[in-house]
């Protein structure tokens, strides 16, 4: 028996080592590219052209970030992104939770038919042109609300949240109803507090989607003062690449200027990535702890 136990323990150790190796390798594939981007964003563009800059800047400089923030519209775009991210995430998570709770209730009339109808919209889309026409008819184009209202609901998020609500014991709701609580009281005082992990996860997904979305600002908004940070940075990179291509195609080009533009363009991309990604990296650790919390701690025992 002792020999079998020793063999089992040895196998478990080998399995654990393999798991650790795979996890570490996966983490490195995610972390190392970002460290390289970070190093290039703070490295001199002329020096970066020589190569050999991997995980630490060889010639430190803030010129790349100065170039990004020198644009007069960047600060306004940051406020637009912050506004749509905070307000859009809060409203979307709240309405998604209410919809999921309603679809979870067995007393909802035509519950299965409504669920199928909602799920059907996830499988088929009307297309970009009809979608734009609807937004224009609703007077949402060239408005800050085009970032928030169309993205209030996500069918996938509703399904995830409804599945999570199913895990909450029905005896908890029954006990609350016996105490005289209505549906709204149960939802706000019991369901939401017990669903912090899924609320945090859905909130993070919504926030990342709002913060990184450049498409809506590029295609549905013409007013530069209403464009979010991601759209402005995308347009800035597009202009930079267009300038590079124009200089390369022109005759009698000043090659020193071409080299400088090319290098600045690549470094500018790295700085842009750092600017866009950093807020999400700072927020994520604050929400991560909720992902591992048990949902039924302290609830009624079955």
Quick: pLDDT tens for 150-165. 988 888 888 888 888 8
pLDDT of residue 87: 93
- Higher local confidence (pLDDT), 281 or 22: 22
- Say whether pLDDT at 301 is over 60: no
Q: What's the rounded Cα separation, in Å, for the pair 10 and 2?
A: 12
Model pTM score: 0.74
On whether residue 46 sits in a domain, the answer given is no
Does residue 69 sit in the same domain as residue 188?
yes
Residue 68, judged by CB atoms within 10 A of its CB (0-12, 13-18, 19+), counts as: buried
Does residue 111 sit in the same domain as residue 200?
yes
On whether residue 301 sits in a domain, the answer given is no
For the chain, give the percent of residues with pLDDT over 90.
9
pLDDT of residue 53: 74
Count up the domains in the chain and report the number.
2
Q: Say how many C-beta atoms besides its own lie within 10 A of residue 129's C-beta.
A: 8
Return the closest-CA partner of residue 104 out of 63, 150, 165, 45: 165
pLDDT digits (tens, 9 = 90+) for 212-245: 888 888 889 888 888 888 888 888 777 766 766 6
Mean pLDDT of 181-210: 85
Does residue 124 sit in the same domain as residue 252?
yes
On whether residue 49 sits in a domain, the answer given is no
Does residue 187 sit in the same domain as residue 227?
yes
pLDDT of residue 33: 86
Distances (CA, A) of 271 to 11, 62, 267: 46, 9, 6
Confidence band, pLDDT 50/70/90 cuts, at residue 5: very low
Mean pLDDT of 116-145: 85
pLDDT digits (tens, 9 = 90+) for 80-128: 999 999 999 999 999 999 989 888 887 788 888 888 888 887 777 777 8
Residue 204, judged by CB atoms within 10 A of its CB (0-12, 13-18, 19+), counts as: buried
pLDDT of residue 254: 54
Does residue 27 sit in the same domain as residue 118?
no
Does residue 21 sit in the same domain as residue 98?
no
Does residue 34 sit in the same domain as residue 76?
no
On whether residue 51 sits in a domain, the answer given is no
DSSP codes of every residue in 46-114 = HHHTT---SSS-SSB--HHHHHHHTSTTHHHHHHHHHHHHHHHHHHHHHHHHHHHHHHH-TTSTTHHHH
Does residue 31 sit in the same domain as residue 69?
no
Mean pLDDT of 68-82: 82
User: Beta strands of 140-233 (E only): which ranges?
Assistant: none
pLDDT of residue 257: 52
Q: What's the rounded Cα separation, in Å, for the pair 68 and 229?
A: 11
Does residue 168 sit in the same domain as residue 282?
yes
On whether residue 254 sits in a domain, the answer given is yes
Does residue 118 sit in the same domain as residue 257?
yes
Which range of residues forms the domain containing residue 113? 63-291
Question: 233: domain CATH number?
Answer: 1.10.3720.10
Q: What's the rounded Cα separation, in Å, for the pair 195 and 168?
A: 9
On whether residue 267 sits in a domain, the answer given is yes
On whether residue 172 sits in a domain, the answer given is yes
Does residue 133 sit in the same domain as residue 193?
yes
Residues 6+ apart with CB under 8 A from 67: 264, 268, 271
On whether residue 298 sits in a domain, the answer given is no
- Say whether pLDDT at 275 is over 90: no
- Say whether pLDDT at 44 is over 50: yes
Does residue 232 sit in the same domain as residue 276?
yes
Distances (CA, A) of 281 to 32, 134, 179, 208, 278: 15, 35, 43, 10, 5
């Amino acid at each position: 028996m002792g020999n079998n136990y020793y063999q089992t323990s040895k196998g478990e150790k080998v399995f654990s080592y393999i798991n650790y190796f795979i996890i570490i390798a996966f983490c490195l594939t995610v972390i190392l590219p970002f460290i390289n981007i970070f190093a290039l964003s703070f490295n001199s563009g002329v020096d970066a052209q020589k190569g050999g800059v991997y995980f630490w800047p060889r010639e430190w400089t803030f010129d790349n970030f100065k170039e990004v923030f020198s644009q007069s519209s960047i600060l306004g775009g940051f406020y637009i992104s912050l506004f749509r991210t905070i307000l859009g995430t809060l409203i979307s998570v709240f309405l998604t939770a209410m919809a999921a709770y309603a679809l979870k209730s067995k007393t909802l009339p035509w519950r299965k038919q409504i669920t199928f109808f909602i799920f059907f919209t996830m499988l088929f889309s009307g297309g970009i042109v009809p979608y734009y026409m609807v937004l224009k008819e609703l007077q949402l184009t060239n408005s800050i609300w085009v970032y928030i209202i169309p993205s209030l609901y996500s069918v996938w998020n509703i399904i995830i949240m409804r599945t999570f609500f199913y895990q909450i014991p029905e005896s908890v709701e029954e006990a609350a109803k016996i105490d005289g609580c209505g549906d709204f009281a149960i939802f706000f005082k019991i369901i939401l507090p017990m669903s912090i992990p899924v609320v945090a996860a859905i909130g993070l997904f919504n926030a990342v989607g709002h913060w990184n979305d450049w498409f809506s600002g590029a295609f549905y908004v013409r007013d530069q003062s209403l464009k979010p940070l991601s759209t402005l940075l995308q347009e800035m990179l597009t202009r930079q690449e267009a300038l590079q291509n124009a200089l390369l195609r022109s005759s009698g080009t000043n090659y020193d200027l071409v080299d400088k533009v090319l290098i600045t363009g690549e470094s500018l991309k790295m700085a842009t990535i750092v600017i866009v990604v950093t807020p999400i990296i700072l927020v994520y650790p604050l929400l991560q702890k909720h992902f591992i919390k048990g949902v039924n701690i302290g609830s009624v025992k079955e």
